[in-house]
């Protein structure tokens, strides 16, 4: 119970929304944090692109450093907090220099960890240094700690959830207001809830970054970001949301990682989640993560996954751990012990699937399409056909019984080639766990 009276001095690189939040949090809750950390935590130096910008926080007494990488060298910096962002460039340079200089690193940078996490973890481990990143996944929710420490006694077989607030916000508004994807995205951008270039969010890349980190932690495996297949939410239409609801589901962008037979499956995709599942009831910009362990069962975490306050909360939690002297391998176990798991082929997965097609409204079409499914060994659990005002055609929505993914895809390809089918069919996974 060493209560050091000497402060832990930190240098912050990046003073955007989150960086400003960390400065504000450390000032506002300074007394509380000092007692919980056993010593004060103070910001001694900062670095950002624009020195003149008003960030709404006092930077008095903090040295200003133009080149972020300089923070690693300063004698008044014990720990570097990297909030620059981006998988490479100045963030990566700073991360390498910080650890090489023998200083602990705290980062919120999921892209950098997804791409260079193995290298950084090895450097940190060799030097016996903390490399902490609670803020990189699901913002303020302590899921890194929950998996790495809380569930550490378990063999974890599955981890999944909603890790992108922008997507969840868009899907929630599409449902609540019956609006199309493009309209909600444009409004979200106008209000600052979505980035000017939203592709990392809406195409599932951001979720893939985060998922690859959680999977490594959960399964004792090497980070394999390249092994995550990412599908986004651009193709989802209000009709899908309505039909899913009628069937008892809500559509969510789910990041899912599983280990089966020693193979690692990682995918980001829109999925139909049963309405009574806690993931389905996670609305707006909230995030949620589920961990399934062999002894603990299903653990569910929900909270705010982005924003200055929640992200700063996670960054400072890491700093408190460092102030307490808690040093563990960045990925729970030594890098050499992490398994390089082969990737599980998606083709062999089994599950139920939601299919939507726009078809010609004439006799024989249904017989043709259902025959195609039958020929591929896919049986139908439910089917709804509705006339659409748009083109005189009909919308056909089907839910399959449990089927092999490759068989469903083969059938879909066959149906898509039919002259009776207009436009590409939509397929979504049903989350049955």
- Near a copy of itself by CB under 8 A, which window of 12-20, 111-119, 160-168, 329-337? 329-337
Strands 403-404 and 350-351: antiparallel
**What is the DSSP track for 353-409?**
EEEEEEE--STTHHHHHHHHHHHTT--EEEEEEEE-TTTS-EEEEEEE-SEEHHHHH
The DSSP bridge partners found for residue 250 are 273
Could you give the string, one character per residue 155-194, with x where binding to a copy of itself holds by CB under 8 A and - elsewhere? Answer: x---------------------------------------
Residue 240, classified by CB atoms within 10 Å of its CB into exposed (0-12), middle (13-18) or buried (19+), is buried
- Near a copy of itself by CB under 8 A, which window of 108-116, 150-158, 406-414, 424-432? 150-158
CB of 315 to a copy of itself, least distance (A): 8
Q: Which of 110, 145, 210, 252 is catalytic?
A: 210
CA dist., res. 68 & res. 47, Å (int): 5
- Near a copy of itself by CB under 8 A, which window of 151-159, 208-216, 367-375, 401-409? 151-159
For position 407 contacting a copy of itself by CB under 8 A, the verdict is no
CB of 166 to a copy of itself, least distance (A): 17
Cβ-proximal residues to 141 (8 Å cutoff; 6+ apart), any chain: 287, 289, 301, 302, 303, 304, 305, 310, 314
> Of residues 300, 351, 380, 406, which one binds a copy of itself by CB under 8 A?
300
Our answer to whether residue 210 is catalytic in this structure is yes
Residue 380, classified by CB atoms within 10 Å of its CB into exposed (0-12), middle (13-18) or buried (19+), is middle
For position 105 contacting a copy of itself by CB under 8 A, the verdict is no
CA dist., res. 225 & res. 114, Å (int): 6
> Of residues 37, 95, 113, 395, which one binds a copy of itself by CB under 8 A?
37
Phi, psi values for residue 124, rounded to 5°: -65, -45
CB of 201 to a copy of itself, least distance (A): 20
Q: Among all residues, which ones are annotated catalytic? A: 210
| Positions in the binding site for a copy of itself (CB under 8 A) | 1, 3, 21, 25, 28-29, 32-33, 35-38, 125, 128, 134, 140-142, 145-146, 149-155, 220, 276, 278, 281, 293-304, 309-310, 312-317, 319-321, 324, 326-329, 332-334, 337
């Amino acid at each position: 119970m060493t209560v050091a009276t000497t402060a832990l001095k930190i240098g912050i690189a990046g003073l955007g929304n989150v960086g400003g939040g960390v400065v504000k949090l450390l000032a506002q809750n300074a007394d509380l944090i000092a007692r919980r950390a056993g010593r004060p935590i103070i910001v001694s130096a900062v670095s950002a692109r624009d020195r003149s910008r008003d960030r709404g926080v006092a930077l008095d007494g903090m040295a200003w450093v133009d080149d972020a990488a300089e923070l690693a060298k300063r004698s008044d910096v014990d720990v570097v907090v990297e909030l620059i962002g981006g998988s490479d460039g100045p963030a990566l340079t700073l991360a390498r220099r910080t650890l090489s200089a023998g200083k602990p690193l705290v980062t919120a940078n999921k892209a950098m960890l997804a791409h260079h996490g193995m290298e950084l973890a090895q450097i940190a481990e060799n030097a016996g240094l903390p490399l902490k990143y609670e803020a990189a996944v699901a913002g303020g929710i302590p899921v890194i700690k929950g998996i790495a420490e809380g569930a550490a006694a378990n063999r974890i077989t599955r981890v999944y959830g909603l890790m992108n607030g922008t997507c969840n916000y868009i899907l929630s508004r599409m449902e609540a207001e019956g609006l199309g994807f493009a309209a909600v995205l444009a409004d979200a951008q106008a209000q600052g809830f979505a980035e000017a270039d939203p592709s990392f969010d809406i195409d599932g890349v951001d979720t893939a970054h985060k998922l690859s980190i959680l999977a490594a932690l959960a399964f004792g495996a090497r980070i394999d970001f390249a092994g995550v297949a990412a599908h986004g939410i651009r193709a989802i239409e209000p009709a899908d949301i309505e039909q899913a609801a009628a069937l008892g589901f809500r559509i969510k962008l789910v990041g899912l990682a599983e280990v089966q037979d020693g193979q690692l499956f990682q995918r980001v995709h829109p999925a139909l989640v049963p309405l009574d599942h806690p993931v389905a009831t996670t609305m707006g910009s909230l995030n949620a993560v589920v961990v399934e362990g062999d002894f603990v069962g299903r653990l569910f975490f929900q909270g705010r996954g982005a924003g200055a306050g929640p992200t700063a909360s996670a960054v400072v939690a890491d700093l408190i751990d460092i102030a307490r002297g808690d040093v563990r391998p960045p990925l729970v176990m030594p890098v050499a012990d992490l398994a390089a798991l082969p990737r599980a082929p998606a083709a062999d997965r089994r599950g139920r699937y939601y299919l939507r097609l726009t078809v010609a409204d004439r006799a024989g079409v249904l017989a043709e399409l259902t025959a195609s499914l039958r020929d591929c060994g896919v049986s139908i659990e439910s089917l709804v056909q509705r006339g659409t005002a748009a083109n005189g055609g009909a919308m056909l929505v089907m839910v399959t019984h449990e089927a092999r993914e490759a068989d469903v895809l083969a059938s879909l390809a066959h149906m898509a080639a039919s002259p009776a089918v207009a436009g590409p069919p939509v397929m979504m996974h049903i989350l049955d766990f």
